[in-house]
Amino acid sequence: MSLRPLTARERADALTKAAAARASRAAAKERLKKGELTAAQLLAAVGTDDALARMKVSELLESMAGIGKVRAAAIMDQLGIAASRRLRGLGIHQRQALVDFIDEK
């Protein structure tokens, strides 16, 4: 089953929407890094902000100082979070474990 081709207008709208979502995620990661936003506040915003809901947990961890791809993978394994998981898909216990880890850091 193939998708119908997009018109030029639909394609332009989709590109604009995608750019806005990337900018929103980048701003949230920067605010978290600077301490202007807590992990709990970020995860609470996931319910209302679709762009943040689609952020991968690994991206969130990698945005923190001192955490790269390898360390983020180890942390997610320790917390029982799958590598492909996005913020929207976290369970209650996973969210709390992630908040506790970030706040502890």
Residue boundaries of the structural domains of the chain: 8-104
pLDDT at residue 2 in the model: 82
Instruction: Report the chain's mean pLDDT, rounded to a whole number.
Output: 91
Instruction: Name the percent of the chain lying above pLDDT 70.
Output: 99
Give every CB contact of residue 52 below 8 A, 6+ residues apart in sequence: 24, 25, 28, 42, 45, 46, 87
> pTM of this prediction?
0.81
CA 48 to chain centroid, in Å, comes to 13
State residue 73's pLDDT score: 94
- If you average pLDDT over residues 50-79, what whole number do you get? 92
Which amino acid does the sequence have at 39? A
Report the top-level CATH class of 8-104.
mainly alpha
Given a cut of 90, whether residue 102 has pLDDT beyond it is no
Mean pLDDT to the nearest integer, 50-55 = 93
